């Protein structure tokens, strides 16, 4: 009886070892379970990729482009040629703001009284961000006076009612859809207590501003995801790049007088 028990136990042990060896040699399929990343609650600032010491070089490059375009416009011999140069200037202005000036400002701290003129040094308020970017792109704006106006006055100092739309109590998706429908280009948007740029690139709509909510700095965020843009009950949108007269004022170097009422 004892001998049978020992033989049985040994057989069971050998079978267990065989199963273990078989399983260790069998291929296994590993399924990686990845938890979805939570959506950011606050806009994530774009990492500055430009050396702020090159800022004035970028400004000079834009100024040279502006002067060259203006020289060509003056030498144009037909309205068609002039319009072609205006269209080229329009594209140059949009690229100058979005690609050559604004990127230096990403990460610059916001403050209600911020007036810095140097990217990532000191702090800047929303109005001063808009007026400084425009000035540094070559527009002859009254930087401080423009920055201190209500957002609608800022827009109407730059363009006219013809290039301005107003939206009241409109859901953020409807506002973004309206911006898409209006077309690609550079806009200034005025909110209840804030102002910034709207950039429409082939239907991708971005809000660029000195944000008074986290991360409390200059950010570029998708308009549809913007807490600040969504919370405003009233929005005024001025399409700067659509206004041929504004493009000409930029080319000529005309002073842009601030509207105060």
What tokens appear for 106 in the block? Answer: 């990403």
Q: What percent of the chain has pLDDT over 70?
A: 81
Task: Find where tokens 């399929």 sit.
Answer: 29
Q: Give me the domain span that covers residue 136.
A: 52-256
As a whole number, the mean pLDDT across the chain is 87
- pTM, full prediction: 0.82
With residue 93 as reference, give the H or E element that holds it. helix 79-95
> What single DSSP character describes residue 199?
E
Length of the chain, in residues:
261
| 109-159 pLDDT tens trace | 999 999 999 999 999 999 999 999 999 999 999 999 999 999 999 999 999
φ, ψ of residue 112 in degrees (nearest 5): -55, -30
- Rg over alpha carbons for the chain, rounded to the nearest Å, is 29
With residue 210 as reference, give the H or E element that holds it. strand 204-210
Q: Which of 5-19, 85-99, 126-140, 162-176 is the least confident region?
A: 5-19
Is residue 45, in this structure, part of any structural domain at all? no
- Tell how far CA 61 is from the center of its chain: 22
Is the pLDDT reported for residue 1 higher than 70? no
Is residue 156, in this structure, part of any structural domain at all? yes
Q: Answer for the pair 65, 96: CB distance below 8 angstroms, yes or no.
A: yes
Is residue 16, in this structure, part of any structural domain at all? no
User: How much is the pLDDT for 48?
Assistant: 58
Q: How far apart are CA 132 and CA 91, in angstroms?
A: 20
What tokens appear for 147 in the block? Answer: 């920055």
Is the pLDDT reported for residue 2 higher than 70? no
User: How much is the pLDDT for 47?
Assistant: 55
Q: Answer for the pair 155, 188: CB distance below 8 angstroms, yes or no.
A: yes
Is residue 26, in this structure, part of any structural domain at all? no
pLDDT confidence bin for 21, thresholds 50/70/90: very low
- Write b or e for each residue in 92-113: b if 16 or more Cβ atoms lie within 10 A of its Cβ, otherwise e: bbbebbbebbbbbbbebbbbee
> For the residues 92-115, what does the mean pLDDT come to?
97
Is residue 6, in this structure, part of any structural domain at all? no
Is residue 38, in this structure, part of any structural domain at all? no
> For the residues 177-197, what does the mean pLDDT come to?
98
> For the residues 67-77, what does the mean pLDDT come to?
98
What tokens appear for 232 in the block? Answer: 């405003």
Burial zone of 256 (CB within 10 Å; 0-12 exposed, 13-18 middle, 19+ buried): middle
Total of domains in the chain: 1
Query: Between the CA of residue 199 and those of 50, 79, 91, what are the distances in Å?
Result: 20, 29, 12
Is residue 34, in this structure, part of any structural domain at all? no
Counting Cα atoms < 13 Å in the Cβ hemisphere of 40 gives 11
Is residue 133, in this structure, part of any structural domain at all? yes
113: domain CATH number is 3.90.1720
């Amino acid at each position: 009886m004892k001998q049978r028990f020992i033989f049985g136990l040994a057989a069971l042990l050998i079978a267990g070892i065989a199963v273990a060896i078989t399983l260790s040699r069998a291929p296994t399929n590993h399924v990686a379970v990845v938890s979805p990343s939570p959506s950011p609650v606050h806009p994530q600032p774009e990492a500055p990729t430009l050396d702020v010491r090159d800022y004035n070089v970028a400004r000079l490059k834009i100024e040279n482009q502006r002067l060259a375009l203006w020289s060509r416009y003056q030498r144009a011999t037909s309205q068609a040629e002039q319009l072609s140069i205006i269209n080229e200037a329009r594209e140059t202005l949009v690229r100058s703001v979005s690609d050559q000036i604004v990127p230096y400002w990403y990460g610059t701290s916001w403050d209600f009284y911020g007036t810095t003129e140097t990217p990532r040094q000191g702090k800047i308020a929303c109005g001063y961000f808009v007026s400084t970017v425009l000035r540094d792109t070559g527009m002859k704006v009254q930087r401080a006076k423009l920055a201190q106006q209500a957002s609608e006055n800022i827009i109407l100092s730059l363009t006219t009612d013809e290039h301005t739309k107003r939206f009241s109590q409109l859901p953020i998706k409807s506002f973004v859809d309206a911006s898409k429908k209006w077309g690609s280009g550079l806009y200034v948007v005025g909110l209840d207590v804030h102002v910034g740029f709207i950039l429409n690139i082939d239907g991708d709509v971005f809000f660029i501003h000195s944000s008074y909510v986290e991360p409390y700095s200059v950010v570029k965020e998708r308009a549809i995801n913007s807490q600040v843009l969504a919370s405003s009950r009233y929005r005024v949108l001025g399409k700067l790049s659509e206004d041929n007269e504004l493009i000409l004022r930029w080319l000529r170097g005309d002073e842009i007088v601030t509207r105060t009422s």
